[in-house]
Structure 1
Amino acid sequence: EDRDRILGALDLGDRTVEEIMLHRSGIEMINSSDDPQIILEQCLKSSHTRLPVYRDEQENITGVIHAKDLLRAMYDVVGGPEGDASALKSFDISAVAMPPYFVPETTTLDEQMRQFLRIRSHFALVVDEYGSLQGLITLEDILEEIVGEITDEFDSDADQPVIQSEDGHYLVDGSTTIRDLNRATDWSLPDDEANTIAGLVIHEAQMIPTAGQVFSFHGFRFEVRGRDGNRITALRITALE
């Protein structure tokens, strides 16, 4: 654990936000065109404190809403506990949302951490060289590269990306980064060609595998256990003797 923390801190200047960001496919967003009651329900059901806000299409990010700001503003519009809930029909989330903060995907983790501390924020949207949304990154993501996974009361065992079965196999979410998998298992799978374990399997197989296909490389056996569209969602990994 000490080794991982020291190496994690030293690596921040050599790694980019692209490597650890949450991919756009996994970002939970709010459509500002939705009915305010729908927005409120989505916010209450979400396990996230901050949610990006878009209008009509997800590439058109107009802001970021904090759950506390949203609830406080809606409470004021309604008029308190004895107020009129129908007043929410005129609520405009754009008036409450904070301006979005965009960063290039090539920004190093060391520089991004400094930027977060400088602007007193810890939530950024990641874009590529063409300005297209690629994902999001938080200060917690960067800190986890040093201290390991940070869990809270909203994290359940089902959310763990790497689960070891009783027979020694590992059940792994396809979106798990190779670095996180290596730290969880003390393996040394290469991350030069891909950031995620699903990306590594696709790179080595030179194809998008179907569920049930099995591959062996780098001293491990990879069985594809789930696929959604062109994404590998679940893998069963076994170390070969």
Structure 2
Amino acid sequence: MSDSSSGSSWLGRLSKVFSDEPESREDLVEGMRDAHHQGIIDGDALAMIQGVLEVSESRVRDIMIPRPQIELIDAEETLEEILDKMLESSHSRYPVILDTKIVGILLAKDVFRAVVKGELASKDDLKSIYREPNFVPESKRLNVLLRDFKESRNHMALVVDEYGELAGLVTIEDVIEQIVGEIEDEHDEEESANIQKRAGEIYSVSALTTLEEFNKFFQLDLDEELSETIGGFLAIQFGHVPMVDEEFAVNGIVIRVTKASERRVEMFEVRPAKAEQESEDDIVQQAV
């Protein structure tokens, strides 16, 4: 009896918030905020409702992992090199690339099952367990992508740009996190390192990395009085919230934005400026 009465009271209070029917998305959000202020729904519920609305508006490009941060398996590597890379990175899925083409997806569970059964003698044996890659355009809406994930039971998609080139990677977890917030798993403590080594001399750096840590790691002397974090420092240098692919060169390195929203920058790629110059020199020499 009390439960029913409580439920009626809750619905009554909520209906009062929406006594004037919302005519737009903004009206709906404002109504939900009013419901939160009146204690009808808690902060977590409000955040998830807003997340659902944002998912219906956002596109794959807004949340994808950029190509420089993808752990790719080179089909030309030896079996030992491939297994070492998988053990070190601890991901569950890996795109396999041959030259510049994605030829399949390797699931860690498939590989390790084959290892236990003694079915892998060389890298060529991996081809039999390649999964078909799933490609999606950058412009695809997240709510549509989530529905496709559910229907296909596929939890990862490779993102291609307007030219059909690999632009990034997106998983079902990335989409769900837009609704419920960050999902931590048993590998997150390791993955949460502010500065992570990628291919060659390229590093992935969190915008929340302190300038002190950044300076110490890259042996720089950026002014730590300007900002506490590298993200704040670069926002000052740019004069605005940095956007994806914007670059800043300083003291022999190039810092490129790889993940950002309208409100804040999240991740950077750091590479030696000399590597970029050497690449340009090679192109000039080949042309000559």
Give the TM-score normalised by the residue count of structure 2: 0.55
Deviation at 1:20, TM superposition (A): 0.5
CA contact (8 A) 2:97 2:103 kept: yes
Deviation at 1:172, TM superposition (A): 5.4
CA contact (8 A) 1:63 1:100 kept: yes
Within a 5 Å distance, the mapping from 1:125-136 to structure 2 comes to 125-136=158-169
Give the structure, 1 or 2, with the largest relative contact order (CA under 8 Å, sep 6 or more): 1
In structure 2, the residue matched to 1:171 is 229
Deviation at 1:227, TM superposition (A): 4.3
Counterpart selection for 2:71 from 28, 52, 64: 28
Counterpart selection for 2:142 from 109, 129, 152: 109
Counterpart selection for 2:110 from 69, 76, 87: 69
Deviation at 1:93, TM superposition (A): 1.4
The 1-side partners of 2:168 and 2:269 are apart by 23
- Is 1:210 the counterpart of 2:250 in the alignment? yes
Deviation at 1:75, TM superposition (A): 2.8
Structure 2 CA distance for partners of 1:170 and 1:138, relative to 1, 3 Å: farther
In structure 2, the residue matched to 1:60 is 101
In structure 1, the residue matched to 2:131 is 98
Counterpart selection for 2:193 from 153, 158, 162: 158
The alignment yields a C-alpha RMSD, in angstroms, of: 3.5
Structure 2 CA distance for partners of 1:117 and 1:200, relative to 1, 3 Å: closer
Structure 2 CA distance for partners of 1:131 and 1:97, relative to 1, 3 Å: same
CA displacement 1:64-98 (0-9 Å, x = unmatched):
111110111233335xxxxxxxx723742111110
CA displacement 1:124-176 (0-9 Å, x = unmatched):
000012211000000110111111111112112525946487x9x653569xx
CA contact (8 A) 2:194 2:208 kept: no
**Percent of paired sites with the same residue:** 34
Deviation at 1:21, TM superposition (A): 0.1
Counterpart selection for 2:170 from 120, 137, 156: 137
The 2-side partners of 1:121 and 1:65 are apart by 13
- Is 1:39 the counterpart of 2:82 in the alignment? yes
Structure 2, unaligned stretches of length 5 or more? Answer: 1-42, 196-205, 211-224, 233-239, 254-262, 274-288
Structure 2 CA distance for partners of 1:92 and 1:172, relative to 1, 3 Å: farther
CA contact (8 A) 2:146 2:175 kept: yes
The 1-side partners of 2:160 and 2:121 are apart by 33
Structure 2 CA distance for partners of 1:137 and 1:170, relative to 1, 3 Å: farther
Structure 2 CA distance for partners of 1:172 and 1:47, relative to 1, 3 Å: farther
Give the SS at the match of 1:199.
coil
Deviation at 1:109, TM superposition (A): 0.4
Report which of the two has the higher share of helix: 2
The 2-side partners of 1:117 and 1:226 are apart by 32
In structure 2, the residue matched to 1:183 is none
- Is 1:199 the counterpart of 2:239 in the alignment? no
In structure 2, the residue matched to 1:13 is 56
Letter in structure 2 aligned against 1:210: V
Letter in structure 1 aligned against 2:243: G
CA contact (8 A) 1:15 1:109 kept: yes
CA displacement 1:39-72 (0-9 Å, x = unmatched):
11111112211111111x2x31011111110111
Deviation at 1:201, TM superposition (A): 9.8
Give the SS at the match of 2:250.
coil
Give the SS at the match of 2:168.
strand
Structure 1, unaligned stretches of length 5 or more? Answer: 79-86, 175-189, 191-196, 213-219, 231-241
The 2-side partners of 1:76 and 1:226 are apart by 39
Q: More displaced, 128-137 or 34-43?
A: 34-43
